Amino acid sequence: MTAPDFLDPRLTEQRNSRTARIDVAATLEIVDLINTEDATVAAAVRAVRAEIARAIDLVVEAFKQGGRLVYVGAGTSGRLGVLDASECPPTFGTPPEMVVGIIAGGLQALVKGLEGAEDDVNAGARAMDDAAVMPKDFVLGIAASGTTPFVRAALGRAQTLAAVTGLLSCSDPPQILAETCDVLILPKVGPEALTGSTRMKAGTATKLVLNTISTAAMIRQGRAYGNLMVDLMAWSDKLRDRGERIVMECAGVDRSAARRAIEAAGGSVKLAIVMTKRRLGKAEAARLLEQAGGFVRGAAGDPPPVRPL
């Protein structure tokens, strides 16, 4: 017996039996139903931890070769990729071209739903050419359902251009992608509380995975000292304050000394730490840091222990 035509085989499109009466639930009950579904997301992400680690290693290798991490998606998936990419420069001091987010429909799709853009396969392939994707890049397609035409076409074109590719999806992808991508990350979060609304559990899982990939890749590059973000760009009062507090804590100096050290280091928090901890000038501290591969721990020793709250 064949399944009825209205049944979609994609996991993200199936109905959730636990929320079948959500439309007649009281407000607090709706909150509880959604929260109960959300509570399953972390476990689904943990189940694909090995695949996430594999993707991180591919990103690190791309960076070592001078390549980029390129996210490509449509709708919520595309917005989450652009979000993660845009947060790397202020957080880790990376150039904006190092992690790139591409969304179907372009920049206007970030603030306005252009769902039809996800069906444009020609645009998907063209996006890879416009981004000048090359063999040393790692292109990660993001598609909650695994079937988004824009993303499939983009990955196909990226593979033609000899780039390393991966797919992040919350449903099993078509066989051609499963066979051709270098890594598949498939956190199976199951049917949404509201059928097909993949901005919910699938979106949450996607953000968790992207946060982990970009953060871990940056840590592997030496952009953290212990759990401190020492390559941040002080573009706001909040970030300037954070940079000064990091130098104060790591080097045991007061705020004015930390501020002077950062200024002497040309705005580099990690260089200021090495200069202050090792009592060195900028040039010698920079030499030590380079010798340590950019890792502050290798140039200045262990960070201070975390103070108990």
The one catalytic residue among 37, 118, 192, 244: 118
Cβ contact 88:99 at 8 Å:
yes
Structure tokens belonging to residue 1: 């017996």
Q: Could you say which DSSP state residue 191 is in?
A: S
Answer yes or no: 118 catalytic: yes
How far apart CA 169 and CA 164 sit, in angstroms, is 17
The span from the CA of 270 to the CA of 224, in Å, is 9
3-state secondary structure of 171: coil
Q: Is 87 a catalytic residue?
A: yes
Q: Looking at residue 118, what DSSP letter applies?
A: G
Q: Determine the Cα–Cα distance for residues 65 and 266; give it in Å rounded to an integer.
A: 27
Q: Are 148 and 116 in contact (CB under 8 A)?
A: no
- H helix or E strand, kind and range, residue 22: none
Residue 106 CB neighbour total at 10 angstroms? 13
| Residue 153 neighbours by CB distance under 10 Å | 23
Task: Output phi, psi for 225, to 5 deg.
Answer: -125, 105
d(CA 73, CA 152): 9
Q: Is 142 helix (H, G, I), strand (E, B) or coil?
A: strand
Q: Which of 292, 300, 304 is nearest to 275 (CA)?
A: 300
Q: Catalytic residue, from 87, 97, 263, 284: name it.
A: 87
CA dihedral of residues 144, 149, 155, 161 (deg, nearest 10): -170
User: Do 183 and 157 contact (CB within 8 A), yes or no?
Assistant: no
Q: List residues with catalytic annotation.
A: 87, 118
